[in-house]
Each structure stands twice: as C-alpha cells, then as structure tokens.
Amino acid sequence: MRKTLVAGNWKMNGRAAASRELVEQVLAGLAEVDRDLVDVLVCPPSVYLAQVCQQVEGQAVANAPLVVGGQNLCEFADGAYTGEVSAEMLVDIGCKAVIIGHSERRALFGDDDARIAAKLKAALQAGLMPLLCVGETLAERDSGAALDVVGHQLRSALAGIEAADMAQVVVAYEPVWAIGTGRTATPEQAQEVHAYLRSVLADMFATVSDQVRIVYGGSVNAANASELFAQADIDGGLVGGASLKANEFLTICQ
C-alpha cells in the first residue's frame, strides 16, 4: 500500500514572521494526523528554507514530523552559478525533498526536458526525494494530446534512472489549466491521467511501478481533496494556495 503524501508548495509567498507562524500552526495540528497514513511536506521559498528546517527540527511533535523541501534546485554542483542553489546545499540545511519541473519553472524560467532530467539526477544523487511534475496546458488537453504530453514529460525525465532509485521518486500530475485558476480536474479526469502515468512507469520500471506515489497538483483544497484522494491511483496532493492557510492544509492532511 502506498502511503499518502500531502505536499505544500508555498511558491513565492510569505515573510519570515508569517512563515514561522504558519509552521507553528501546522506542527500543532499535525498532532491530530495519523502519521502511519500520511507523509506531510512543506516547500517554502529558498530564503526561508533554513529557518523552517531549524524550526521543525527544534520542535518535538508526537508522531507528526514535518518534512521540508525546496521548490527548485540547480542541476550543477557547487561553482560559478550565481543565484542558484545546489542539491548539496538543500541537504546541508536539512531539506529532504525538492520539487522538480513545476509548470511555472517550465513556462517562465526555461526548464526544458533535458534540464529537468539533469535536476532529477542531481536530486537523487544528493539523497533528496524529487517531486517530478508533469502536466498539460488547456490547449493540449482540448486537442486530445494530454496523455501524449505527460507521457513524454515522464519518460524524458526518468530516462537513465535505475529502478532502485524510483522508490525515492514522487510523480506529481499538475494540469497547467488547473493551477491557481480555481478549476480542478474532475476526480475521473485526474484518475485517468494517473492511471496512464502508472502504465508508463510499468513500461519503464515493471518491478516497482506500483510502489511509486503519484500525487495530484491542480488547485487541491479542503473541499475536493477527499474525493480526489479516494481515486485508485491518486496518492495525495501537491497543494498550492491552500497550503498557505494552516486550517485548510491540515484539513487536506486529515
């Protein structure tokens, strides 16, 4: 049985005091969440990662540790890469995970297939859990190309990855047309894509495909999470705006 994962992507939001308060509230509420059933992750902006890692490490919450991850990393190791953050740096401050290939990185910052594959390898080599994002635009969905698009994205990112490493990888399906728009794929639409992604994983990694978690990342909120997570191949969520509200994020976790 795959353990549910709820991951909060704060994107470029928050300030030091607000981040501290949000983490305090989430930590307190996680005491009511069954950790045998769900892993919980938050991904703050990079400038607040060290603060959040220290805050989580410094608070003992019975049976409810909170994992911290980055929103992005550089595919290169340390060196002359001004403005970038390496996988080793994330590990050094206490991060355990990192988001790779989010649609905003693809669309706004030029993260193409080759770069995403390199970032995934860098994350794995450093011991980070990569959340690999794939998803189609509205035009691609309306043209009937959604499955082809996400299948290509998944195959290109995982090319050359060993099956043994796949236990560390999480796939996040995030239909671009449903991110931050208030629109959400229906549970049936999301399940169709998740099942297809699992079939691609089965082609590539037959022995471990059933163990890989595939989470949904298109405007997940407290009202729709239960129905989405009830689908056979939806193993949790990559939560955007709702992760900035402690009560709503905790409701999703519960």
Catalytic residues: 102, 174
H-state helical runs in the chain: 16-30, 49-57, 87-93, 103-109, 113-126, 138-142, 146-158, 187-204, 225-229, 246-253
Contact between 240 and 179 under an 8 Å Cβ cutoff? The reply is yes
The tokens describing 238, both together, are 């990559």
- 33 half-sphere exposure, CB direction, 13 A CA radius: 24
Contact between 75 and 91 under an 8 Å Cβ cutoff? The reply is no
Q: Is 197 helix (H, G, I), strand (E, B) or coil?
A: helix
Residues counted in the chain: 254
160's CB contacts (< 8 A; 6+ apart) are: 117, 121
C-alpha angle with apex 110: 220 to 219, nearest 5 degrees? 5
Contact between 22 and 249 under an 8 Å Cβ cutoff? The reply is no
Which residue, chain included where needed, has tokens 């470029």? 12
Number of helices (H) and strands (E) in the chain: give both, helices first.
Answer: 10, 8
